[in-house]
Amino acid sequence: METSKKDIRALSKEELQNFFLEHKVPAFKGSQVYQWLWQKGVHDFEGMTNLSLVHRELLKQYFEIKHINIDFQQRSSDGTIKNAVKLHDDLVVESVLIPTSKRTTACVSSQVGCSLDCTFCATAALKRMRNLKADEIYDQVTAIDQQSRLYYHRPLSNIVFMGMGEPLMNYNNVLAAIDKITHPEGLGMAAKRITVSTSGIPKMIRKMADDGVKFGLAVSLHSARQEIRERLMPFAKKFPLSELSEALTYWYKHTKKAITFEYVIWEGINDQKEDIQALVKWCQHLPSKVNLIQYNAIDNSSMKQASNDVVDAYITALTRARIKVTYRRSRGEDIAAACGQLANKITDGKDTAND
Ligand code: SF4
pLDDT per residue over 36-59, tens digit each?
Answer: 999 888 999 999 999 999 999 999
Cα distances (angstroms) measured from residue 210 to each of 193, 197, 256, 260: 20, 18, 12, 19
Q: Is the CB of 114 under 6 A from ligand 1?
A: yes
Distance CA 175, CA 180 (A): 9
Q: What is the pLDDT of residue 301?
A: 75
Contact 294, 322 (CB under 8 A): no
Cα distances (angstroms) measured from residue 202 to each of 199, 205, 238, 245: 10, 5, 10, 8
Q: Is the CB of 123 under 6 A from ligand 1?
A: yes
Residues 188-197, mean pLDDT to the nearest whole number: 96
Q: Kindly tell me the sign of the dihedral angle through the C-alpha atoms of 164, 165, 168, 170.
A: negative
Distance (Å) from CA 274 to ligand 1 centroid: 25
Give me the percent of the chain exceeding a pLDDT of 70: 91
Q: Is 166 a catalytic residue?
A: no
Q: What is the pLDDT of residue 334?
A: 66
Residues 140-150, mean pLDDT to the nearest whole number: 95
* Closest atom, ligand 1, to C-alpha of 163: 7
Q: Is the CB of 139 under 6 A from ligand 1?
A: no
Q: Whose CA is nearest to atom 4 of ligand 1?
A: 118
E strands, the chain, are: 6-7, 63-64, 69-75, 81-86, 92-99, 104-107, 111-112, 130-131, 158-161, 194-198, 216-220, 259-263, 288-293, 324-328
Look at 96-105, 158-167, 289-298 and tell me which has the smallest mean pLDDT: 289-298
Residue 6's pLDDT band, with cuts at 50, 70 and 90, is very high
Q: What is the pLDDT of residue 3?
A: 56
Residue 275 pLDDT greater than 90, yes or no? yes
Q: What is the pLDDT of residue 88?
A: 86
Q: What is the pLDDT of residue 318?
A: 98
E strands, 100-183, are: 104-107, 111-112, 130-131, 158-161
Residues 24-46, mean pLDDT to the nearest whole number: 93
Q: pLDDT digits over 230-252, tens only?
A: 999 999 999 999 999 999 999 99
Contact 162, 218 (CB under 8 A): yes
Q: What is the pLDDT of residue 128?
A: 85
Q: Is the CB of 166 under 6 A from ligand 1?
A: yes
Give me the percent of the chain exceeding a pLDDT of 90: 75
Q: pLDDT digits over 208-219, tens only?
A: 999 999 999 999
Residue 159 pLDDT greater than 60, yes or no? yes
Distance (Å) from CA 281 to ligand 1 centroid: 25
Closest CA to 64 of 104, 98, 37: 37
Q: What is the pLDDT of residue 123?
A: 82
Residues 108-126, mean pLDDT to the nearest whole number: 88
**Which candidate in 118, 121, 283, 339 is catalytic?**
339
* Closest atom, ligand 1, to C-alpha of 220: 1
Instruction: Tell me phi and psi for residue 75, to 5 degrees.
Output: -115, 130
Contact 340, 126 (CB under 8 A): yes
Residue 75 pLDDT greater than 50, yes or no? yes
Residue 351 pLDDT greater than 80, yes or no? no
Distance (Å) from CA 121 to ligand 1 centroid: 6
Q: Is 243 a catalytic residue?
A: no
Residue 348's pLDDT band, with cuts at 50, 70 and 90, is very low
Of 291 and 123, more confident: 291
Q: Terminus-to-terminus CA distance in the chain, angstroms?
A: 35
Distance (Å) from CA 55 to ligand 1 centroid: 45
**Which candidate in 94, 136, 166, 262 is catalytic?**
94
Distance (Å) from CA 264 to ligand 1 centroid: 13
Residue 338's pLDDT band, with cuts at 50, 70 and 90, is low
Mean of pLDDT over the chain: 90
Q: Whose CA is nearest to atom 7 of ligand 1?
A: 165
Distance (Å) from CA 279 to ligand 1 centroid: 21
Q: What is the pLDDT of residue 347?
A: 44
3-state secondary structure of 99: strand
Closest CA to 134 of 167, 160, 104, 99: 167
* Pocket residue to mutate for ligand 1, from 339, 341, 342, most atoms within 8 A of Cβ: 339
